[in-house]
Structure 1
Amino acid sequence: MRAFADLLDRLIYTRSRNAKLKLITDYLRVTPDPDRGWAMAALTGELDLPGVKSAVIRTLIEQRVDPVLFRMSRDYVGDTAETVALLWPTPPIAPDPEPLSIAQAVDRLSSLSRSDAPAALAAMLDRLDSDERFALLKMATGALRIGVSSRLAKTALANGFDLDVEAVEEVWHGIAPPYTALFDWAERRGPQPTAADVPVFRPFMLAHPLEELRVDLKDYAAEWKWDGIRVQIVHVAGTTRLYSRTGDDVTASFPEVARDFTTPGVLDGELMVKGDAQGSATEEGGAASFNALQQRLGRKVVSAKMLAESPAFVRLYDILYDGDEDLRPLPWDQRRVRLEAFVARLDPERFDLSTVIAAEDFTALEGIRAGARDAAIEGVMLKRRDSPYLGGRKTGLWYKWKRDPLTADCVMMYAQRGSGRRSSFYSDYTFGCWTEDGTLLPVGKAYSGITDEELKRLDQFVRNHTTGRFGPVREVEKTLVLEIAFDSIHQSKRHKSGVAMRFPRIARIRTDKPAAEADTVAALERLIT
């Protein structure tokens, strides 16, 4: 645990990507199995210890220190694991002189029930110093937040042992932690793992923002960018899996899609649901807004009612494998022909094809894009016709051209401290719009879109205009207007205002506008598509 704690400490204070890669690489080279495998599982978000949750950790610390002191400290520090690691009292007896390994901690905590795990975790915390406690708690909860992505950790592994990172990514989800077969291959003790007969995840091909670039439609094909979740559907050896863009297995949330995909192959598409919360369908092939899809995300069990009211389907973009034939090296236009033939063999109620936008030139495409305001359309994708399917973002091959955001002038109502480097600032803002009777109702929450200087200005406003305190939340005078940009807006029964914004962010601080002139909920409702 000591070496892993040192690694996390250095990663937190290292900004350089190359420096982070070197730190992880050096750690993996000198750390024995299975500790380094479990460390990789923690760094990539693949470690799951169901008996240890944030609520358990809060209960343990509040049994040992004043709960008010803990909550005030947590509010200031901005991170539960760091707060608990610092406040945890030194036990009256000397700690166990034998160091605790990552493998020992994982084996112990993963084998216990939810009722027994808290006591075991407390005993481990008693044996550790503050840095090691921080590492254990971060690892156990799966919320590292140290500026290391899953891809970066896998790249460090590949760099450290002279492996191809795409080969590592390809078999990653077919090997369980602590990845013994992977490290055997890395150190030339075993064969290279393969994806044969295993429904593994392959890296998605991603796009760069188009920005000011104009492309020739003779070289690029245009498709709609749909507002669902990007999924990869894999059927191998009688088994189907659905993976999200981050490689998470989402099969359980969409069992009807997995059930109806029985043709061997690997497809790339956008998963959406038909109709909306009231069961009505939209014009473009029945695709509902993201808000309807959101009700199903993360569910391990989907009710029969939800399956009936919000059935899922996939709008297909690309094909990676046809049976066991790898089509990724083929250019896009050839893969498109193969995809069209593949889709013809699928259930049209569950799978359809994302159509290519017919436009004479880029100027015509601009007009088509400007007129698109369907709830399920997020923008336009531009794909080079001769591009192979390559994992990650490759310059010049695929571009995303998101539609212009909607905006509304809203009044700040509440503020909450942020996390990490923003933990000392009130950086998360709840804002509202007016009803017809003059009531201000919350319509969204945002924390992005502002500069560091603007963050300081808003933090100062919150501190100087607080009218009420509710734990970490402050209510403020309803006098400051924020211009909020958002991708779309939808009806929502979960919000008192009846609306929910998609991707809200702060566009401007409107000190020039009186709060009474901010937008109304009715005006937002007119933007619903």
Structure 2
Amino acid sequence: MTIQAAHTFLNLSKVAQSINETRGSNDKVKICADYFSSLEDETDLMLAAQFLGEGAFSNISGKRASVGSRTYSILAAELCEIDYDKVFKPSKTALGSSSETIEKLFTNIPEARAKWFPQDLTLKEVEAIFESLQAVSSRADKQEILTNAWTKMSPLEVKYFLRIMGRGSLRIGFESKSIVSSIVKAFKKSIEDVRYVHMITGSLGKTAALARNDQLEDAQFKLFQPIAFMLASPIESRTIENYTDYLAEEKFDGMRCQIHVKGNEVRIFSRDLNEITHSFPEIITFFADRSLPGIVLDGEICVYKNDTIMPFQHLQKRMGLKKPSKKILEQHPTILISYDVLFYDGKPVFEHTLLDRRALLTELSKEYVFPVTSQYPISHEDEIEMLFDQAIAHGNEGLMLKHKQSTYEYGQRRKSWLKVKKPGGSIDTVMMYAHAGSGKRGGTYSDFTLGISVRNDDRYEEEFIPIGKAYGGYTDEELKKLNSRIKEITAEKYGPTLGLYPDIVVELEFDDIQVNKRTKANFTLRFPRFKAIRWDLSPDDVDTLIDIERLYENKLNQERLKQINNPSFVFK
């Protein structure tokens, strides 16, 4: 890589692909750190960190390209001169990825190749394309911008352009914490200093620039600028020496958020740092009426009706609405329940212990009257089961265990916060597609699309339709056996994806079932994972879409205890 070529989008795409094809996390970090070091221009460095770790726009910008998958997929089919329904959609189903599908088609179809004239676009030129996309609203305008951009890119660039535009993971086994590690390595800084600056700035690009310029100490927390959330680890993944060091708290069936308030100015941010203020006007009014001083709270948004926290499925009807209707507000009213305070009286308090932050939160909730969770001391491990059952009876997801002396450890999964949950259920599914793994799983098929039966369902012509993707829950030996069997039941091959004859049955465990009208089943599973490979069952034994619909309705209609009698919910 020459310094001159370092700032091109093609080079960033090659770096991302190289990271994807590299196994060890340290080796991945080195590739990224070397790349960051090669970027001479500060803006290029900021854009590179942003593109690799956040997306087309910084998390704190409030901007979105807002280009739907169907919009760019239809365009890709037109450029390839293929039928969208008969060729593109089956290819996408097989590969499990729109961006991967488009890269393969653009590479292999002569009609598409004839339209490409790669021009080594710079990072700044690609930034300008993203800016132009977010400035227009019609599908035609967005497709015109995409056409002009894609014809100047290679298929590899198009793939990463789409993944960056979508703001999701680049799916290269390299998340934001790895970008932080790369900044540390590239500019020889302390990991704690870089993590702290990333938290209070909310921007990987700004963090990289401050690290390079030896200005980390200049970073300051700003109200109404979201900070990275503290994360929890599954209790199964950690060993606890002394349970009395922890406090228990019921885990509500809602959406994690962060609320910034000062007087009548109120802004709410989701876990991915998106602003969601306009989706919850009743919460805005509630906090604006309390004339709070500058404060930042960490908490949970829940649908709360008739003194009861309703199932998450009710909250889904509120998510993403920029201006909910009067009817929606009446049917699915929300509240924000706080469980931590991060900023108060003009200064951050996340370096204080949980006990100190909790004491402050309790004092503030009494003075300004807003809902908070309750916390329970733990004297023995056996109490966790009792508290867990109590949480489930209240309709909550489970428990959180929080270390009394912990500070707010932004963006890390350690032992300070532990989550205690049980699966929402399990179903028997058939393996439909096997996707090649990356990183340490390179060379094996380790990601799988699982399906349910619609053989006797008049709504469908197929035998099976997808219900979820899973890539964990099996042992190395089981994976080896799976790959051996997959070779024998392969029906078709689409690049890194195999279409399989119905044969392997997997009991799939999940946290919840959610409505998703963009899927054939109209449902998706929340956090699906392997529970068991059922070599004893055949495809005739897998669950049906009707079974999924019944499970969903049962969860939706599950009776819940009213929160007015729940000591875990303090709102007086």
Identity %, equivalent residues: 23
* Number of the residue aligned with 1:208: 233
Structure 1 counterpart of 2:451, which letter?
T
Report the residue type matching 1:366 in the other structure.
E
Which residues of 2 match residues 152-191 of structure 1 at below 5 A? 152-161=178-187, 162=189, 164-173=193-202, 179=206, 183=209, 186-188=212-214
* CA displacement 1:392-412 (0-9 Å, x = unmatched): 43644332222x335455354
Structure 1 residue runs without a partner (length 5+): 276-280, 467-471
d(CA) in 2 for partners of 1:449, 1:159: 30
SS at match of 2:228: coil
- Give yes or no for contact 1:272–1:313 (8 Å, CA) kept in 2: yes
How far residue 33 of structure 1 moved from its aligned partner, in angstroms, is 3.8
The residue aligned with 1:111 is 132
Aligned-partner residue type, residue 65 of structure 1: C
Closer/same/farther in 2, CA of residues 488 and 187 from structure 1, 3 Å limit: closer
Return the match for 2:121 from 100, 110, 126.
100
| Residue 29 of structure 1: aligned partner | 37
Does residue 1:292 correspond to 2:342, yes or no? Answer: no
The one-letter amino acid of 1:512's match is D
Q: How does 1:116-131 map to 2 (within 5 A)?
A: 116-131=141-156
Aligned partner (choices 61, 67, 82) of residue 82 of structure 2? 67
* Cα deviation code 1:234-292 (max 9, x no counterpart): 225764322233333232332332333242211111221114xxxxx4xxx52111221
Alignment check: 8 A CA contact 2:94 2:499 kept: no
Give the Cα separation in 2 of the matches to 1:137 and 1:288.
36
Cα deviations across residues 305-363 of structure 1 (Å, max 9, x unaligned)?
2222111212221112223233223222222211111112345xxx4221123655222
What is the rounded CA distance, in whole Å, between the counterparts of 1:87 and 1:121 in structure 2? 20
Find out whether 1:218 has 2:244 as its counterpart: yes
* Structure 2 spans left out of the alignment, 5+ residues: 1-7, 58-63, 559-572
Q: d(CA) in 2 for partners of 1:26 and 1:511?
A: 46
Does 2:447 align with 1:447? no
Q: Distance between the aligned counterparts of 1:61 and 1:517, measured in 2?
A: 35
* Matching of residue 269 in structure 1 with residue 299 in structure 2: yes
Contact 1:230 1:269 (8 Å CA) reproduced = yes
Q: Is 16-25 or 71-80 further displaced after alignment? A: 71-80
| 1:405 matched to 2:434 | no
Residues 129-528 of structure 1: matches in 2 within 5 Å? 129-143=154-168, 144-161=170-187, 162=189, 164-173=193-202, 179=206, 183=209, 186-188=212-214, 192-196=218-222, 198-211=223-236, 213=239, 216-236=242-262, 239-262=265-288, 263=292, 264-275=294-305, 281=306, 286-347=308-369, 351-357=370-376, 360-370=379-389, 372-374=391-393, 376-393=395-412, 395-402=414-421, 404-405=422-423, 407-408=425-426, 410=428, 412=430, 415-416=432-433, 418=435, 427-431=448-452, 445-451=468-474, 452-453=479-480, 455-456=482-483, 459=486, 463=490, 482-487=506-511, 502-512=526-536, 515=540, 521=547, 524=551
The amino acid across from 1:24 in the alignment is C
- The normalised TM-score by structure 2 is 0.73
Match of 2:47 in 1: 38
Secondary structure in 2 aligned to 1:248?
coil
Q: With CA pairs under 8 Å and 6+ residues apart, which has the higher RCO, 1 or 2? A: 2
Deviation at 1:23, TM superposition (A): 2.2
Work out the CA distance in 1 between the residues paired with 2:445 and 2:122.
Answer: 34
1:47 to 39, 45, 56: 56
- Give the direction of change, closer, same or farther, for the CA distance of 1:474–1:304 in structure 2 (3 Å limit): farther
Q: Flag the structure with higher helix content.
A: 2
CA contact (8 A) 1:272 1:290 kept: yes
Q: How many residues align?
A: 503
| SS of 1:34 mapped into structure 2 | helix
Compute the TM-score of the two structures, normalised by the length of structure 1.
0.78
